[in-house]
Amino acid sequence: MSGRNHRSLHRPAATEAALRFLLDEGFEPAAAVNTLFLVVSVFTTGFVAAEQVPMDLAESRGLPAPDAVRAATTGLEALPEERFPVLRGNAAAMLGPNMDERFRLGLETVLDGVAARTDDNGPGTSRADSTVITDLSDVVAGRSPRGC
Name every residue whose Cβ is closer than 8 Å to that of residue 139 and which is 6 or more positions away in sequence: 14, 17, 18, 21, 145
Question: Can you give the pTM of this predicted structure?
Answer: 0.62
- Does residue 83 or residue 23 have the better pLDDT? 83
Model confidence at 122, pLDDT cuts 50, 70, 90, reads: very low
Q: What is the pLDDT of residues 81-96, one digit of tens each?
A: 999 999 999 988 887 6
Q: In Å, how far are 95, 102, 103, 134 from 86, measured between CA atoms? A: 14, 20, 23, 34
Model confidence at 1, pLDDT cuts 50, 70, 90, reads: very low
Q: What is the pLDDT of residues 32-66, one digit of tens each?
A: 888 888 888 888 888 888 877 777 777 777 878 77
14 burial via Cβ count (<10 Å: 0-12, 13-18, 19+): middle
